[in-house]
Amino acid sequence: MLGNSSCSILPMQKRLLYRTCILPIALYGFNLWFFKGIPIVKNINKLKKMQCKAALWITGAFRTSPSDGIEAIAGLILITLHMRKLNGRHHLRYGSILSTHAINSFLDPQHVKNYPPHKTATSKLTNKQQFNLKSSIKDVNECLNSVRECFNPFFSLFSLGSRVVDHFPSKFSFHSPSSSSNEDLFHYL
């Protein structure tokens, strides 16, 4: 309705509306079915159709336009890449949960300190059971095994004088609003 009215919203506003309202609702709980080894083609095809319709609405293009091109013009990332990005963030979030969290009992012992493993934990399964297992917990466990980077806040490149802004100060400009522009703004309110 908003896009077809006489004073419709701008494409940038349509894109913002889609990204902030529709995508979170459509992808809510996708981690329950989006993991390695599960047939997900039907679900992804439905999401691709949804995003194609949204891109057509944002750009106002014809229905016969190529969907990938219209999504690029609309500034939307492909839905499969967006889901991979969110899934990777979801996996890494497990590295920061409390050590007393119940999910930790299902992970390998090297990720959990002072917490007894559950009887169905991945570390207690046989090799055949681990091979046949398809779950998001297994994917999280593999992700935590492969990525364990430590963050050092006192690293030498983080010190003053080593940043990009320090090396190329002429390439950056910072503008602060002047007091007169604030007064003009309040004058019109």
Q: Kindly report, residue by residue over 103-148, the tens digit of the pLDDT.
A: 777 777 766 666 677 777 777 778 888 778 787 777 777 777 666 5
Q: Flag whether 156 is in a domain.
A: no
Q: Residue 48: is its pLDDT beyond 90?
A: yes
Q: Flag whether 161 is in a domain.
A: no
HEC letters along 91-134: HHHHHHCCCCCHHHHHCCHHHCCCCCCCCCCHHHCCHHHHHHCC
Q: Are residues 65 and 114 in the same domain?
A: no
- Structure-block tokens of residue 171: 């390439």
What number is the average pLDDT over the span 142-155? 67
Average pLDDT of every residue of the chain: 78
Q: Are residues 74 and 17 in the same domain?
A: yes
Q: Of the given ranges (10-14, 167-171, 173-177, 183-187), which has the lowest mean pLDDT?
A: 183-187
Q: What are phi and psi of 50, to 5 degrees?
A: -60, -45
DSSP letter for 150, please.
P
Structurally, the chain folds into a number of domains equal to: 2
Q: Flag whether 132 is in a domain.
A: yes
Where is pLDDT greater, at 29 or 2? 29
Domain that holds residue 101: 97-146
Q: Flag whether 44 is in a domain.
A: yes
Reported pTM:
0.63
Q: Are residues 20 and 69 in the same domain?
A: yes
